[in-house]
């Protein structure tokens, strides 16, 4: 996997995670606000209805005592039934609103008193229809029920507003905390992804350094060996020839002796650049060490490899060194070998054959190109 593709995948993964986190946090905040809002809306609705029943009880009682009749009596009884039917939801409101201990004890006691008075209030409402003596007691009991209900629901109403506001503040802080934690998580993940990418880049750089000659920026012996093995594997599949040349500068020691090692390094860099300009894009030029270079020529026969190396030799022979004062030019000895279409070989035999050809070029007086199979 290339570093570019790896970075694209990291970025895509991070953006996907960022979007998923943003959506999740948004839904969480919306859901919790909606949930809390619905809870307090339900509680407020119960309280409003309870207050309305207390007002209805007062109004119906006054009318009934002023003009007793079965219709008003039945209306009062229905009101009592409604109050009793809301006992469960009212008790739930005590828990939902989180009343403090003192308020809860007082409100619960008043509500228990209402529930306890309802049977007596029903009985007195029936007696008051025909018994004028029972009407005054009914008034007192009905007013006690109404006053206790009014107290209970007024207390719950105040607590609803206070608890709702406190819960909304808590929800806001919680939402910001979730957002902050989500943001922190994304920052940590981004840092980890950056670290992974940095490690990946450093590993790639280290691998490149392990395969590259520092002075000339050409592949080194290891890099050439790796490429030769790949090329020979391809050669075994397609049967096309492969050539390897060893190029060695003649009498290079005089450059270091007369010009100094820094100038010698500059000469090596310059000659490496000249040779690199002479080879083809499919070829691979490498520095094997000192003043020796290797040239791999895939899909190149003996004749083509020889002519290419001879052109390189002539170019170096005719080239003047611009960075030296005493040594004006250098020559090059080249040994070339070719793997034939029916041969099975590896790097070492190929290298040995090219080295023998280079030795022969040196033996012939240097500044020669010798080809051997």
Q: Distance (Å, rounded) from C-alpha 214 to C-alpha 86? A: 88
Helices (H), the chain: 3-66, 70-85, 87-96, 101-127, 132-210, 221-238, 253-259, 261-278, 302-318, 347-363
Q: Distance (Å, rounded) from C-alpha 94 to C-alpha 159? A: 10
Q: Distance (Å, rounded) from C-alpha 177 to C-alpha 174? A: 5
CA 355 to chain centre: 53
Task: Give Cβ neighbours of residue 48 (< 8 Å, ≥ 6 apart).
Answer: none
Cα distances from 187 to residues 173, 184, 197, in angstroms, run 21, 5, 15
Task: Count Cβ neighbours within 10 Å for each residue of 86-109 and write b for 16 or more, e otherwise.
Answer: beebbeebbebbebeeeebeebee
Token pair, residue 88, equals 């469960």
Whether 353 contacts 245, CB under 8 Å: no
Task: Choose the catalytic residue: 136, 259, 291, 344.
Answer: 291
Closest CA to 275 of 323, 223, 310, 227: 310
Any catalytic annotation for residue 291?
yes
**Cα angle at 81 between 78 and 83, to 5 degrees?**
110
DSSP 8-state symbol, 300:
-
Residues marked as catalytic:
291
């Amino acid at each position: 996997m290339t570093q570019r593709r790896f970075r694209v995948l990291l970025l895509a993964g991070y953006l996907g995670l960022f979007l998923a986190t943003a959506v999740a946090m948004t839904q969480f905040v919306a859901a919790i606000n909606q949930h809390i809002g619905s809870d307090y809306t339900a509680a407020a609705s119960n309280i409003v209805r309870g207050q309305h029943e207390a007002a209805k009880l007062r109004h119906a009682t006054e009318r009934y005592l002023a003009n007793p009749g079965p219709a008003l009596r039945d209306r009062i009884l229905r009101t009592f039934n409604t109050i009793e039917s809301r006992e469960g939801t009212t008790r739930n409101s005590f828990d939902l609103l989180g009343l403090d201990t003192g308020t809860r004890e007082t409100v619960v006691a008043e509500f228990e008193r209402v529930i306890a008075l309802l049977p007596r209030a029903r009985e007195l409402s029936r007696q008051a229809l025909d018994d004028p003596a029972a009407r005054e007691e009914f008034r007192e009991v009905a007013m006690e029920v109404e006053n206790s209900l009014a107290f209970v629901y007024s207390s719950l109403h105040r607590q609803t507003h206070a608890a709702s506001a406190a819960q909304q503040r808590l929800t806001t802080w919680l939402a910001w905390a979730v957002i902050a934690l989500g943001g922190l998580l994304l920052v940590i993940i981004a840092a980890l992804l950056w670290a992974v990418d940095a490690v990946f880049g450093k590993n790639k750089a280290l691998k490149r350094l392990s395969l590259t000659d520092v002075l000339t920026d050409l592949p080194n012996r290891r890099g050439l060996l790796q490429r030769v093995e790949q090329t020979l594997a391809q050669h075994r599949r397609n049967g096309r020839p492969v050539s390897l040349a060893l190029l060695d500068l003649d009498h290079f020691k005089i450059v270091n002796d007369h010009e100094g090692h820094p100038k010698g390094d500059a000469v090596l860099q310059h000659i490496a650049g000249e040779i690199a300009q002479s080879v083809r894009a499919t070829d691979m030029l490498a520095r094997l060490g000192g003043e020796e270079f290797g040239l791999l020529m895939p899909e190149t026969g003996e004749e083509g490899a020889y002519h290419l190396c001879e052109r390189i030799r002539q170019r170096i022979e005719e080239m003047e060194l611009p960075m030296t004062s005493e040594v004006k030019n250098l020559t090059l000895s080249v040994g070339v070998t070719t793997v034939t279409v029916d041969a099975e070989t590896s790097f070492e035999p190929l290298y040995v054959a090219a080295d023998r050809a280079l030795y022969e070029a040196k033996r012939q007086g240097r500044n020669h190109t010798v080809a051997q199979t």
